[in-house]
Amino acid sequence: MLTTAYGDEVLARLRETRVALGTMYFGTTVDEATSRAILDRFAERGGRLVDTANCYSFWVPGGTGEESELVIGRWLADTGSRAEVLLTTKVGCLPDPLDGPFPESAEGLDPAVIHKQFELSAQRLGTDRVDVYLTHADDPKTPLAETARALSDLVRDGRVGVVGASNSAPERLREATDLAADDSIAAPRVIQVRHSYLWPDPAADIRPQRPLDREMVAHAREHGIVVQGYSPLLQGALTRPDKQLAPEYRSEDNERRLAHLRAQAERLGITANQLALAWMVGGETPVVPVLGVSSVAQLDEALDGIEFELPAEVRADLDAQAPLGG
């Protein structure tokens, strides 16, 4: 397995990190001034892991996919905080052409795409290296060995600390790990998937997104992989009674779990969002929440939840209500 001193340092920092700031809408639906205020507050409260992608947010009217990385790059340059921040970005989901049908037109993970898009991301972020570089979704058209070699070239050249996968199928994760038996190949050290206290219907088609499951957790435990979960608060549906759950979450089991979560949160004097995050970060296999917020107040609420010490009996109760995988 290919490793470098830079990668070892990044991985050690990742394993100590309890939260990531998701920046999907920075520069589009979250204006730059608000985005910078959120980044400032995240750093002020000790946050260090900032997550973006080369395609955020192409689907917003007028969006190109460059906006989030550009906002972060300008913030890093103005604050001089690059050394303190762990940067994650991703490749593979930018449509080509930009107005093509998605996900069919996704750029994929051909080596030429990876090298080109890495350079563009690094330029927008204003850095010569990226701490964590993730494939954004599986690409069945490109042999995984070719993708792995391209990512490993970036690790070997000191441009990337560690690599990993977002929205990857368990069998692809196993294959990627097996490929790293070769000393020239970097193993996936991070997996990022959708994860919340509620579980989506396994029959629902949410591609290219993929929820956490038992197989992924077992693989992460076996190989020391950091697990990250995006959309942990389901766009406010855990807390707001007027916010309807997405169709894939609408089930009697999830309604029961949500009612139980809210009741426990009220008893503890915290919000359902905060309770869900406290549950998420403190389990037997901790999951690092990737927080997508649109205001400083939302960020503070979430960070207070991550810092909340959840009583063991409450954790056991919540675990029983929401077994992994639904």
DSSP states of 73-108: HHHHHHHT-TTTPEEEEEES-SBSSTTS-TTTTB--
The token pair at 16 is 């100590």
Q: Say which CATH superfamily domain 5-321 falls into.
A: NADP-dependent oxidoreductase domain (3.20.20.100)
Average pLDDT of the chain is 96
Among 51-65, 112-126, 308-322, whose mean pLDDT is lowest? 308-322
Residue 229: is it exposed, middle or buried by C-beta count within 10 angstroms (0-12/13-18/19+)? buried
Query: What does residue 319 show for φ and ψ, rounded to 5 degrees?
Result: -60, -40
- Where in the chain are the domains? 5-321
Per-residue pLDDT averaged across 41-56, rounded?
98
Q: With bands split at pLDDT 50, 70 and 90, how would you rate the model's confidence at 283?
A: confident
166 and 88 Cβ atoms separated by less than 8 Å: no
Task: Name which of 122, 126, 133, 132 is nearest 48 in CA terms.
Answer: 132
Within the chain, how many helices (H) and strands (E) appear? 11, 8
pLDDT confidence of residue 324? 65
On the question of pLDDT at 53 being above 60, the answer is: yes
Express each pLDDT in 199-252 by its tens digit. Answer: 999 889 998 999 999 999 999 999 999 999 999 999 999 998 888 999 999 999
199 and 325 Cβ atoms separated by less than 8 Å: yes
The token pair at 274 is 């905060």
Residue 209: is it exposed, middle or buried by C-beta count within 10 angstroms (0-12/13-18/19+)? middle
Task: Write 205-211 long-range contacts (CB < 8 A, 24+).
Answer: 206/248, 207/103, 207/137, 208/93, 208/103, 208/106, 208/136, 208/137, 208/138, 208/167, 209/167, 210/167, 210/168, 210/169
pLDDT confidence of residue 186? 98
Task: Name which of 211, 216, 246, 215 is nearest 230 in CA terms.
Answer: 211
pLDDT confidence of residue 322? 72
Report pTM: 0.96
Residues 200 and 137: their CA atoms lie apart, in Å, by 18
Residues 88 and 194: their CA atoms lie apart, in Å, by 16
